[in-house]
């Protein structure tokens, strides 16, 4: 959702607030797509601090459905996001692109609330999500979910340097 900031940008000391719905239905990151299960409206306040500087604050909450890193069961992960940034528009366009990330969600007098939320989610998202701390994951051989019980696969691991010798023993094994 685009928010027009022209009224705030043109008058020093002016402050405006918006509560806009989140139009984001999926979050894309690193080749993965996570559906948005639930969200709250994005509350944004922009204040003209004078001298072409602006304060941006706000909050929202977004719940994503992410697969467990061990067993791949879907897990609902909630990101509680708060924004508190100072935007300096006196820096030239090139300097602003190099020095900060605000260029992604701010274009001229338009603020893209969905892109602002996406950046917040990208910073908030953990490296991996688990369905529970003691998740046992999947069997490396048959793929059975080990949280439901053992699979019966041979879990003895052979040193790869000794695998050839193990093959020779298996050939001469008595039946």
What H or E segment, with its residue span, contains residue 30? none
Identify the three-state secondary structure at position 39: strand
pLDDT in tens, 55-99: 999 999 999 999 999 999 999 999 999 999 888 877 655 544 454
Residue 103 has pLDDT above 80, yes or no: no
Domain extent listing, the chain? 2-124, 138-175
Mean predicted confidence (pLDDT) in 156-162: 75
Phi and psi, residue 150, nearest 5°: -70, 155
Per-residue model confidence (pLDDT) at position 129:
94
Contact 27/117 with Cβ under 8 angstroms? no
Residue 42 has pLDDT above 80, yes or no: yes
- What's the rounded Cα separation, in Å, for the pair 117 and 86? 16
Confidence of residue 19 (pLDDT cuts 50, 70, 90): very high
Residue 33 has pLDDT above 70, yes or no: yes
- What's the rounded Cα separation, in Å, for the pair 110 and 89? 13
Residue 170 has pLDDT above 90, yes or no: no
Residue 159 has pLDDT above 60, yes or no: yes
Mean predicted confidence (pLDDT) in 106-129: 89
Contact 55/47 with Cβ under 8 angstroms? yes
The larger pLDDT score, comparing residue 95 to residue 153, is at 153
Q: Which residues of 122-151 are buried (b: 16+ CB within 10 A; e: fewer)?
A: eeebeeebebeeebeebeeeeeebebeeee
Per-residue model confidence (pLDDT) at position 96:
47
Which residues, including other chains, have CB under 8 Å from residue 119's CB and lie 6 or more apart? 101, 104, 105
Residue 50 has pLDDT above 50, yes or no: yes
The larger pLDDT score, comparing residue 97 to residue 106, is at 106
Q: What letter would DSSP give residue 87? A: E
Per-residue model confidence (pLDDT) at position 102:
46
Contact 86/56 with Cβ under 8 angstroms? yes
Neighbouring C-beta atoms of residue 110, cutoff 10 Å: 12
Identify the three-state secondary structure at position 44: strand
Top-confidence range, 76-90, 103-117, 157-171: 76-90
């Amino acid at each position: 959702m685009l928010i027009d900031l022209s009224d705030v940008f043109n008058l020093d000391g002016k402050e405006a607030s918006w509560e806009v719905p989140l139009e984001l239905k999926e979050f894309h990151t690193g080749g993965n797509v996570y559906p948005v299960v639930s969200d709250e409206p994005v509350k944004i306040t922009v204040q003209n601090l004078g001298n072409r500087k602006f304060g941006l604050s706000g909050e929202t909450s977004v719940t994503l459905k992410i697969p467990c890193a061990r067993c791949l069961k879907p897990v609902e992960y909630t990101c509680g996001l708060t924004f508190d940034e100072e935007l300096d528009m006196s820096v030239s366009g090139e300097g602003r692109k190099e020095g900060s990330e605000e260029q992604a969600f701010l274009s001229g007098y338009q603020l893209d609330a969905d892109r602002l939320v996406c950046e917040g989610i990208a910073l908030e998202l953990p490296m991996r999500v688990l369905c529970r701390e003691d998740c046992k994951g999947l069997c490396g051989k048959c793929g059975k979910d080990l949280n439901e019980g053992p699979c019966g696969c041979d879990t003895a691991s052979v040193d790869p340097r000794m695998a050839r010798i193990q093959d020779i023993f298996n050939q001469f094994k008595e039946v």
